[in-house]
Amino acid sequence: MRAEQAVAEYLEHLRAERRAAARTVAAYGADLAQFVGFMAVHLGGPPSLDDLAGLRAGDLRGWQAGRAGEGVVVATRARNLAAVRGFFRFLARRHGIDDTVVRLLATPRSRRKLPRPLPVASALAVAGQIGELSDAPMVQARDVALFTLLYGCGLRIGEALGLDLVAVGAARRGSLMITGKGGKQRLVPVLAAVADALEAWARLHPQAPRADAPLFVGVRGGRLDAGVAQRTMRQYRRLAGLGEDATPHALRHSFATHLLAGGADLRAIQELLGHASLSTTQRYTDVDAARLMAVWQAAHPRAKI
């Protein structure tokens, strides 16, 4: 059997047995057609199943290097490899071909971008000034409370919007129980400034004193949508002259980076952010190191030579 026939058989398997979406089948088909085409040139002719079974790690690395040389981005190359791995798993089950070489091939990984926190003054200004975007006292108080909470407690936007009105009382007592990713809960201390902003909002909350009401609501009374908060931040950053990196999530990055710069322990920051792995939190040490290097380059006389 030729490789093209095996690909057609695999795509039919995806359609009929795996019930894959048409777009998924089309994407896999394009990825596998490119792979088979490369191997036809690489091996000197249309490959057969025996040719695929005999591929070595060097052949596959040559294919990956060719994709990289064409300027194909890392995410696309990773998807290409996922398609080829799925194809070889199918060949192993259906035709007894050994897929060990393909399974052991490393997935291309992009370098993780560093978090982009706001400067301290800018982060403080967001919470203090964002209410000025609206003329409605209710919206003003809500937005000030939300963005003060995001920066003051380092919450994800979804975590903040998932809170109920009962959280105001807990905040005044000094802490909030936050449900993060995977349903994992963590206790987050609350600053007095955050508790004050939440209480000011609670006095204007249209559904108070219902403790089970959403803490942050939209103008129609339902739980506030994250898109509304993100749009508010876009409006603010244009008026304040901030870059596109100034998002609600950037306030979480700012919280962590400013704590680290102030001498906070990395493990404590991990707990406050709800990171499952310390390696995720360690990105903020890279941010702080980059900040210190920038200060050194701007100020040290030897850096200007």
Q: Which residues are catalytic, by number?
A: 156, 181, 249, 252, 275, 284
Amino acid identity for residue 301 in this structure: P
Q: Are 254 and 269 in contact (CB under 8 A)?
A: no
**Which letter does DSSP use for residue 185 in this model?**
E
Closest listed residue to residue 13, CA positions, set 77, 74, 92:
92
Closest listed residue to residue 91, CA positions, set 166, 183, 3, 220:
3
Q: In Å, what is the CA distance from 93 to each residue of 20, 88, 90?
A: 18, 9, 5
Phi/psi for 220 (5° steps) reads -95, 0
Amino acid identity for residue 101 in this structure: V
**Which letter does DSSP use for residue 18 in this model?**
S
DSSP string covering 29-43, please? HHHHHHHHHHHHHHH
DSSP string covering 204-246, please? T-TTTT-TTSBSSB-TTSSBPPHHHHHHHHHHHHHHHT--TT-
Q: What is the C-alpha separation between 283 and 290, in angstroms, rounded?
A: 11
Question: At 186, is the secondary structure helix, strand, or coil?
Answer: strand
Q: Does the bond joining 115 to the residue before it have cis omega, within 30 degrees of 0?
A: no
- Other beta carbons less than 10 A from residue 296's beta carbon: 11
Q: What is the C-alpha separation between 51 and 238, in angstroms, rounded?
A: 58
